[in-house]
Amino acid sequence: MTGDAIVVGAGVIGLTTAVVLAEAGRRVEVWSRERPAETTSAVAGGLWWPYRIEPREAVGGWALASFRQLSRLADRPDETGVRLVEGTHASTEPERRADWAAGVPGLRPAGHGELPAGYGHGLRARTPLVDMPAYLGYLQRRFAAAGGTVAHRAVPHLAEAGRCAPLVVNCTGLGARDLVPDPRVHPVQGQVVVVEDPGVTEWLVAEDGATGEFLHVFPQPYGVILGGTAREHVWDRSPSPATARSIIDRCARVDPRLAEARVLAHRAGLRPVRSPARLEAGRLPGGARLVHNYGHGGAGVTVSWGCALVAARLADGD
């Protein structure tokens, strides 16, 4: 390649970063051992909501920048896969309202009649809900329209990319554990079940503050995504039948229609967690500028645009 930048990684963080760089006028190529449809991003639930990500002082800005971008894309849901959907974030215990909440139009406390049984507290909001396979396809088309290209290739060393372009952006998520290497990155396994939609029109997240157990119900065009799990340091991507049954049972307790919904698919993915997420610049041995943008846990789509804009500024030396 004789271009300006190589982005390593083709999940939502990598593709969004590549779009921002390409639309700013750079000649950009994405290198990835996985195609976008094979990444963890492709099996994500797709709800905009800051989840399992640090540092807290930066997350609000990243998330709200993404909220604004995704809200604009929701004007064209058939093209982008993004919709604005009403929903409830419920909890058994009072939660301190995060700073970013003030930037979400219409976000308010949920009334008791708006909460699922067993949950006494919550927030109501209209937020982006993203059909991730469709959205990744949209990002690829937008990147190509800006002149970008995607190469399906393994990257054994970041220095290899640095020999091909003066700028390398590392968006490898969990792969950064070996590639950097960075032992602070670790997997948090998430499993979901996709069922036929019995008429669900709103999203729901419900957390038990005492046990840490949670569930979610996300209506997508192709079915309803039921979840979930958060198993630390588990590398297995194989869905567990017992876990799937538990997920369905928990979700059916808050919406009995889901108990008999036909199962369409089982999915599991590994969230790339690092505390804090890494968004910083440096240099590769040959002199190429290196920007790290990884470790976003379960909030990849939620912070994708905000982090991509910061990464672009770091690429410019700001």
- Rounded Cα gap, residues 233 and 235, in angstroms: 6
* 184 known ligand binder: no
- For residue 45, give every residue at least 6 positions away whose Cβ sits within 8 Å of its Cβ, in sequence order, or none: 132, 192, 216, 218, 225, 227, 228
Q: CA quadruple 28, 34, 37, 40: dihedral positive or negative? A: negative
Do 17 and 307 meet the contact criterion of CB atoms below 8 Å apart? Answer: yes
* 40 known ligand binder: yes
Paired with 270 in beta bridges are 189
CA angle 111, 206, 303 (to 5 degrees): 105
* 120 known ligand binder: no
* 42 known ligand binder: no
- For residue 97, give every residue at least 6 positions away whose Cβ sits within 8 Å of its Cβ, in sequence order, or none: 123
* 299 known ligand binder: yes
* 155 known ligand binder: yes
* Residue type, position 265, single letter: A
* 127 known ligand binder: no
* 300 known ligand binder: yes
Report the binding-site residues for D-dopa: 271, 298
Report the binding-site residues for FAD: 40-41, 155, 172, 297-302
Report the binding-site residues: 40-41, 155, 172, 271, 297-302
